[in-house]
Amino acid sequence: MGIKGLTKLLVDNAPTAMKEQKLESYFGRRIAVDASMSIYQFLVVVGRKGTQMLINEAGEVTSHLQGMLYRTIRLLEAGIKPVYVFDGPPPDLKKQELAKRFSKRAAGSEELAVAIASRNKEDIEKFSKRTVKVTQQHNEDCKRLLRLIGVPVVEAPSEAEAQFAALCKAGKVYAVASEDMDSLTFGAPIFLRHLMDPSSRKVPVMEFEIPKILEEMNLDMDQFIDLCILSGDYCIGGLTALKLIHQHGSIENILENINKYQIPDNWPYSEARLLFKEPIVSMEEKPEINTPNEE
C-alpha cells in the first residue's frame, strides 16, 4: 500500500529530514517493532531450503522463534528496549487486498505442487516462499517467547503500524522501527529503518523525523497523508502527487480541478484517509518490562 518511491522522494525533497544514525545512539531507548512483519520475514528466510524449515520434535515450525529470539537478543545487547506490536484484525478497507493475497497464495500452492511433482528445485524454492503465511499460532508462539524473556508485547486492536505510531506520538516509545514506509503515513514522529541490519552489510540506521519532513516539503500532516494515498492507491508517482498537492492542497481539490487522470471507480480515498488519521488504536498503560520468567 505504501508509496513506491517514498524514500527517493524524501531524499530528493526533504534531504535533511532523514539522517544516518549509529545503533549506539539508541542505547537505553524504548523502540516499537512490528512483530508480524518480522515473523513473516523469519518464516520466509530462516532455515528454509525448498520446503524445509526449522522444526521441533513434534514437527512444528520453529523458524519464527529462532529468528525472534536472536534478533531480540541483539537488540537487548545494543541497549535497546524493544516493544513488539502485534497485528489485530485488519480494517474492512483492506479486505479486498487480503482476498487478493489469499488467491495469490492459493496459486502459489498449486504452482508449488507442480514444481514438487516435476522436481524443479528452482521453482520449489520460488513458490514455497509465496505460500508463507503468518498464522495465529506463530503469533501466539512469539508472544509467549517474548513474555518469557521479559520483553513487552502490545496487541494492536487493528493495524500494528497504526498502534506503534500512536505509542510513539504518546511518548510511550522513543521511536518506531520498521521497513514499512506506511509508518510515516501513520505519523510516527521518529521512524527508523534498517535498525536490524548487521553492520557487515554497512547499511546505516536511517532516522526520519516527521516534523522535519513536513516542514521541508512544505506540507501539513493532512496533506502528507493525502500525498501517500494519492500515489499509493492510484496510478501516479510520488513526484506528480507532490506537485498536485502543492498546487491544489487536497485530494478533493485535485479531483475538482484535474480531469486528465483516470479516477478509479468509487475510489475510497476518504476512508483510506480516515484510517490514517483516526486509526483504531488502544491506549493501554505503558508497556512495562516484566521480570524474565525462569524456565
In whole angstroms, the minimum distance from the beta carbon of 202 to DNA comes to 9
Which of 205, 217, 213 has the alpha carbon at shortest distance from 189?
Answer: 213
19 binds DNA (CB under 7 A): no
Helix, strand, or coil here: 192?
Answer: strand
Residue 70 interacting with DNA (CB under 7 A): yes
Beta-bridged to residue 177, according to DSSP, are 33, 192
**128 vs 111: CA distance, rounded Å:** 9
Site residues for DNA, 109-138, by CB under 7 A, read: 129-130
Give the DSSP letter string of 218-268. T--HHHHHHHHHHHHSSSS-HHHHHHHHHHHSSHHHHHHH--SSPPPTT--
If binding is defined by CB under 7 A, does position 259 make contact with DNA?
no
CB of 270 to DNA, least distance (A): 21
Q: How far is the CB of 117 from DNA (least distance, A)?
A: 22
For residue 244 the three cell numbers come to: 498536485
For helices 63-77 and 136-148, give the axis angle rounded to 10 degrees. 40
Between β-strands 205-209 and 190-193, what pairing exists: parallel, antiparallel or unpaired? antiparallel
Q: Does 78 bind DNA (CB under 7 A)?
A: no
Three-class SS state of 141: helix
Q: Answer whether 182's CB lies under 8 Å from 176's CB.
A: no
Exactly one of 51, 55, 89, 263 binds DNA (CB under 7 A); that residue is 55
**Residues 214, 236, 274, 280: which binds DNA (CB under 7 A)?**
236
Binding span for DNA by CB under 7 A among 14-22, 71-79, 164-172, 208-216: 71-79
**Identity of the residue, 34 or 172, whose beta carbon is nearer to DNA in the bound complex:** 34
Q: Rg of the Cα trace of the chain?
A: 21
**Residue 71 binding DNA, by CB under 7 A:** yes
Least CB distance to DNA at residue 27 (A): 17
Q: Does 181 bind DNA (CB under 7 A)?
A: yes
Helix (H, G, I), strand (E, B) or coil at 24: helix
Choice from 13, 40, 78, 290 touching DNA (CB under 7 A): 40
Q: Please report, as ranges, the residues that interact with DNA according to CB under 7 A.
A: 1-2, 4-8, 40-42, 44-47, 53-56, 62, 66-67, 70-71, 73-74, 100-101, 104-105, 129-130, 179-182, 196-198, 200, 231, 235-241, 260
